Amino acid sequence: MKELTTDIYTGDTHTAADRAPAVEKSVIVGLEDVTKVYGIGDLEVRALNGVSLTVTQGEYCSIMGASGSGKSTAMNIIGCLDRPTTGRYYLDGVDVAQMPEAELAGIRNLKLGFVFQQFHLLSQLTALENVMLPMVYAGIPAAERRERAVNALTRVGLESRLQNRPNQLSGGQQQRVAIARAIVNRPVLLLADEPTGALDTKTTQEVMDIFTELNDSGMTVLMVTHEPEVARQTRRIVWFRDGQVVHNNLKPEELSHATF
Ligand SMILES: Nc1ncnc2c1ncn2[C@@H]1O[C@H](COP(=O)(O)OP(=O)(O)OP(=O)(O)O)[C@@H](O)[C@H]1O
Ligand SMILES: [Mg+2]
């Protein structure tokens, strides 16, 4: 016979099995009514106009929307590169909306990985050195730095390219180095602003396969893209228009018949 228990708060009775909580996913990104206003007076631009967005642990999410709709502005705030004018931002449970820059820099290094359209690798460093760099700032001992960088580069399929400089690598390979660099500090959130924007179709797919694999292994991924073929490979699409979220959770299969 099932043993019934009574919830001390609600008075409900239930079996132990009913009570087993659904696995609670933690909130990684919590934006609440965020605005971002650039300039003042007649020159004022409201880049974000009341954005609320929640991304939970393990999600694979893309942000789409017309040019100028506020996608990069939102990513810069989510990535702690900029602060909201008003509103709240909780990153992995920490209120970072008005945190001083020095502290924000620490949070960026500890919790976030970034991938940009233009790779942003240091041209005088090898692939291995580029990937080791964030760990220098994070204070990881030298021997461990090398081992972790090799592992990250192996994960993106570049174990045979450790000693090449960026100009000796293809665009797709450079982006893979950038992804390795972004994940090497084991961030809670991987952010990518148009990571395939500078790549051809075949290379785009190689890079997307890596993002998908990282998400499959538990990494929370949030990317901006203009390409429906890229967005369709994520699991959730957020649509921006005029500094607002007009679709919060569009399923990839709904993309072609959604109206904006
Ligand atoms: N530093 C800035 N100073 C003033 N206005 C800005 C600044 N950065 C962005 N804006 C304005 O804010 C609005 C949103 O820009 P944002 O770069 O976020 O758009 P986006 O959706 O990323 O566009 P795209 O798809 O072209 O990259 C635009 O009107 C833009 O001109
Ligand atoms: Mg942009």
User: Could you read off the pLDDT of 196-229 as tens digits, one per residue?
Assistant: 999 999 999 999 999 999 999 999 999 999 999 9
Residues with CB under 5 A from ligand 2 (ion): 72
Helix (H) or strand (E) holding 88: strand 86-91
Distance 71 CA to ligand 2 centre (A): 6
Whether residue 118 is predicted with pLDDT greater than 60 in this model: the reply is yes
Q: Which residues have a Cβ under 8 Å from the Cβ of 184 and sit 6 or more positions away?
A: 113, 131, 132, 134, 135, 148, 149, 152
Task: List the domains of the chain with CATH numbers.
Answer: 58-83+96-257 (3.40.50.300)
Paired sense of beta strands 244-250 and 236-241, if any: antiparallel
Question: Can you give the pTM of this predicted structure?
Answer: 0.89
Q: Whose CA is nearest to atom 8 of ligand 1?
A: 73
**Mean pLDDT on 125-138:** 92
Taking only the tens place, the pLDDT of each residue in 89-117 is: 999 999 999 899 999 999 998 899 999 99
Using most ligand atoms within 8 A of CB, pick from 73, 83, 118, 223 the residue to mutate for ligand 1.
73
> Among 38-42, 130-134, 225-229, 230-234, where is mean pLDDT lowest?
38-42
Distance 242 CA to ligand 2 centre (A): 13
Whole-number Cα distances in Å, 177 to 44, 126, 187, 217: 38, 10, 16, 19
The sign of the torsion formed by the CA atoms of 161, 177, 105, 44 equals positive
For the chain, the average pLDDT equals 91
In percent, how much of the chain has pLDDT > 70? 90
In percent, how much of the chain has pLDDT > 90? 80
Whether residue 120 is predicted with pLDDT greater than 60 in this model: the reply is yes
Burial category of 158 from C-beta neighbours within 10 Å (exposed 0-12, middle 13-18, buried 19 and up): buried
DSSP string, 150-171: HHHHHHTT-TT-TT--GGGS-H
Band (25; pLDDT cuts 50, 70, 90) = confident
Whether residue 151 is predicted with pLDDT greater than 80 in this model: the reply is yes
For the record, the structure tokens of 101 come out as: 């820059």
**Mean pLDDT on 6-23:** 55
Band (254; pLDDT cuts 50, 70, 90) = confident
Q: Whose CA is nearest to atom 6 of ligand 1?
A: 38
Ligand 1, residue 74: give the atom nearest the CA. Answer: 18
Q: Which residues line ligand 1 (CB under 6 A)?
A: 38-39, 45, 47, 65, 67-73
**CA angle in degrees (0–180, nearest 5) for 137-77-33:** 145
